[in-house]
Structure 1
């Protein structure tokens, strides 16, 4: 059995250093983004930066406590943690406080806890627990169905809040399952879905007329898919029928039928499920609408702030757009604009490089495990960090819709800091026992 005395020796101190560095850089940027000349102390608990300092201290305490756990206990407790985090998602819908149109918070005075941040931990642990079981293979249909079921319950509860940003982050788990043997065709279908979604939404905004028939553009996309499938089918029968298997015919028919169903469903979801402000944000992202003083204002100001930083930035606390609060939510969702304005291209590149280094290190940690459970969990953590970085930075520079995704360790908020800390240090604790073969 692994001796607890080896924890400090086996702890991946390089990852801990990256964690501390990112957390401190985030704190300094929160101070700059919410700077108040009347409250200049970084430890002033009446200001965001003072509260963030409290969250940082408590996060460090959590990290220390996690190191006291046994790795086998974490593995065995995974279903319980998943159940608790899912139950919290139910309770927040009943007793939660509504913030910015979403009932996603438990309020405690001036502090708040967002359960969806901890649902990532529950799902990651449960997915690792299930997929690491003996005789479980991702190629089996039952395994895929169960893995989807693990994801779908928290996803539906979070959609009811609604919190589309967290739901989008959950798509990262497909990369985890791909590492465990999921067919690459699933990833290709995902890419096809993205392409079809963009084409459908773009064409939907236009009316096309052919042969006297006037229809919304996405209807012609559906007609095109059917015609292309028919031509491919008869072309196959004419030229390559002897070498073409029946299952490939079924795959062709299934792909076309699925695409038509996807486009039709997407149209209904866009019209009847999404909130008006969400539709506007998507249309602005796709260039189908302009609203510089409304839904597009945040992104416009964020891009202006980042661009004004130039190559080397304006200097710490010298960002004019940041200092005068021209960018809404600049200490939370748009914290990257503070980095871009004050640190410039060099600083922004450095921050992204540190995040990339962290994710590569997490993959390295995952790959060196003897335990299937720890490897799967490690990939889950790495993919979650990747999605948060991709969406948050993309949102700040206008390449992703504004959906409220925090930048790990940088955005103001205790829930996200605690959530990312627990995610990371569970992995580091499991990694200290990597020489012990766990399931």
Structure 2
């Protein structure tokens, strides 16, 4: 790594990254803590393996920073194609873990290509949007951008791994920043709200409420000659969507997904079955009170009451052992990192770097928001790890790769003109 790179690199983002990784390791150690002593040669211990993966991630960082920044833009398309092939290869050579064929067995470890596909998709999207011919106001260009985002998600869903596929919604953040009409975000948010409302109450009442609101809008705007055909068409689409929710929920979703939605929406209480993880997680977080029980002193954590606590439910360890203060500190660290990355993205001189930066922010935000919401019972359990925190080599390396490519691009911004 050259002196100029060291001087121009954003150390604030790196320090926030290190704080999250090290605090994450401390909580992984606590969540997997037993009576045995920690031995750096015992790979059966979760904390030891995570420690080695952290060391190897530093090697990855050095390699990324040693590359020319133009490498990522020049080979973005090739990296994306290789990523898609790695996802397709799972259907032939993949290893099934917890019901999902999402891994390659390398002998000494398992590798999950979907974790690296996020960075590849971000590069491909940035390359496409930074093309001089691209205009997101044109429908065919919008469709090509949507296709870049959708392909890896479509390859991930059948594994089945809907949680990882959900993350690709994050790439609409950079699209919106680069000029995509807000209509798409409004449609997505409206569809989500209508879906949940229809699950809670009968679709006829949801449709009646929407029709009433649209009628009020038409009455208020009657002097402006509103487009009645547009309102009528919109209402027909909403009616069709609301009355299809029941079919989608019962015939497209799997039973485990239906159960998780029903628990979150309060339609079912299953504290000993499908809702056990979330229930125990809430108990652990609530028992931490303001200051927590102390590191490695969490009774829920040491008792192993929260399944998968060192992976997707690692935030419950923070809540129990570090309390409200510790949980708030972790949230502030994530928010600070994302706000810093937005600042860095806005100061980029090239569109490629800016789009990639917003893609990084979007992926981190979706992972952070969904994971914390899942652990606290606000969202259904979908199996999304907490970036830099949850146990796993693929996850740590994937997020490290995603972040430090952008840090390298930012360090090179002085040479972009």
TM bin, normalised by shorter chain, reads: over 0.9
Contact map agreement 2:150 2:168 (CA 8 A) in 1: no
**1:79-228 maps to which residues of 2 (within 5 A)?**
79-109=77-107, 111-203=109-201, 217-222=202-207, 225=210
Map 1:260-279 → 2, pairs under 5 A: 260-279=239-258
> In the alignment, which residue of structure 2 is the partner of 1:211?
none
Contact 2:153 2:166 in 1 (8 A): no
Preserved contact between residue 281 and residue 375 of structure 2 (Cα < 8 Å): yes
Task: Map 1:313-324 to 2 at 5 A.
Answer: 313-324=292-303
Q: Following superposition of structure 1 onto structure 2, how do residues 236-251 of structure 1 map, counting pairs within 5 Å?
A: 239-240=222-223, 243-244=224-225, 248-251=227-230
Given that residues 409 and 420 in structure 1 are in contact (C-alpha distance below 8 angstroms), is that contact kept between their aligned partners in structure 2?
yes
- SS of residue paired to 1:36: coil
1:42–1:49 CA contact under 8 A, matched in 2: no
Moved more, 249-258 or 49-58: 249-258
Q: Taking structure 1 as reference, are residues 26 and 97 closer, same or farther at Cα in structure 2, changes over 3 Å only?
A: same
Q: Deviations over 1:158-215 (max 9, x none)?
A: 1111111112211122221111112222222222111101111112xxxxxxxxxxxx
Change (3 A) 1:154 1:303: same
**1:94 to 1:254, Cα distance in 2 relative to 1, 3 A:** farther
Matched, 1:436 2:401: no
Rounded to whole Å, the distance in 1 between the matches of 2:381 and 2:130 is 36
Aligned to 2:71: 73
Seen in structure 2, the aligned counterparts of structure 1 residues 234 and 45 have a Cα distance that, compared at 3 Å, is: closer
| Cα distance, 1:17 vs structure 2 | 1.2
Unaligned stretches of 5+ in structure 2? Answer: none
Find the residue that maps to 2:71 and give its secondary structure. Answer: helix
Does the C-alpha gap of structure 1 residues 60 and 425 become closer, same or farther in structure 2, counting only changes over 3 Å? same
- Change in CA separation of 1:228 and 1:11 when aligned onto 2, cut-off 3 Å: closer
Give the corresponding residue for 1:212: none
- Distance apart, 1:227 and its partner CA: 7.0
| Distance verdict in 2 for CA 1:265–1:84, change over 3 Å | farther
Aligned 8 A contact 1:43 1:53 in 2: no
State the Cα distance separating 1:253 from its structure 2 match: 3.3
Partner residue, 1:214: none
- 2:361 corresponds to which of 369, 373, 382: 382
Report the secondary structure of 1:106's partner residue.
strand
CA distance in 2, matches of 1:17, 1:233: 50
Q: Distance in 2 between matches of 1:181 and 1:70?
A: 29
Deviations 1:120-154 (A, max 9, x none): 11111111110111031212211211111111111
Using the TM superposition, give the Cα deviation of residue 260 of structure 1 relative to its aligned residue in structure 2, in angstroms.
Answer: 2.8
Contact 1:89 1:157 in 2 (8 A): yes
Query: Offset at 1:5?
Result: 4.2
Give 2:307's aligned residue: 328
Query: Which SS does the other structure have where 1:435 is aligned?
Result: helix
Give, in angstroms, the shift of residue 220 of structure 1. Answer: 4.4
Q: Structure 1 residues 236 and 23 mapped into 2: Cα distance closer, same or farther (>3 Å)?
A: closer
Determine helix, strand or coil for the equivalent of 2:413: coil
Question: For the residues of structure 1 that align with 2:49 and 2:9, how far apart are their CA atoms?
Answer: 29
Tell me: CA distance 1:295–1:417, structure 2 relative to 1, closer, same or farther (3 Å). same
Deviation of 1:110 after TM superposition, in Å, equals: 5.3
TM-score between both structures, scaled by the size of structure 1: 0.90
- Separation of aligned partners in 1, 2:96 and 2:257: 17
CA pair 194-321 structure 1, distance change in 2 beyond 3 A: same
Question: Following the alignment from structure 1 to structure 2, what is the Cα–Cα distance between the partners of residues 183 and 283?
Answer: 33
Q: Is the 8 A contact 1:236 1:244 kept in 2?
A: no
The answer for the alignment partner of 1:411 in structure 2 is: 390
Tell me the residue number matched to 1:209. Answer: none
For the Cα contact (< 8 Å) 1:31–1:42, is it kept in 2?
no
Q: What is the TM-score of this pair, normalised by structure 2? A: 0.95
State the partner residue of 2:345: 366
CA contact 1:370–1:436 (8 Å) conserved in 2: no
Structure 1 residues without counterparts, runs of 5 or longer? 204-216
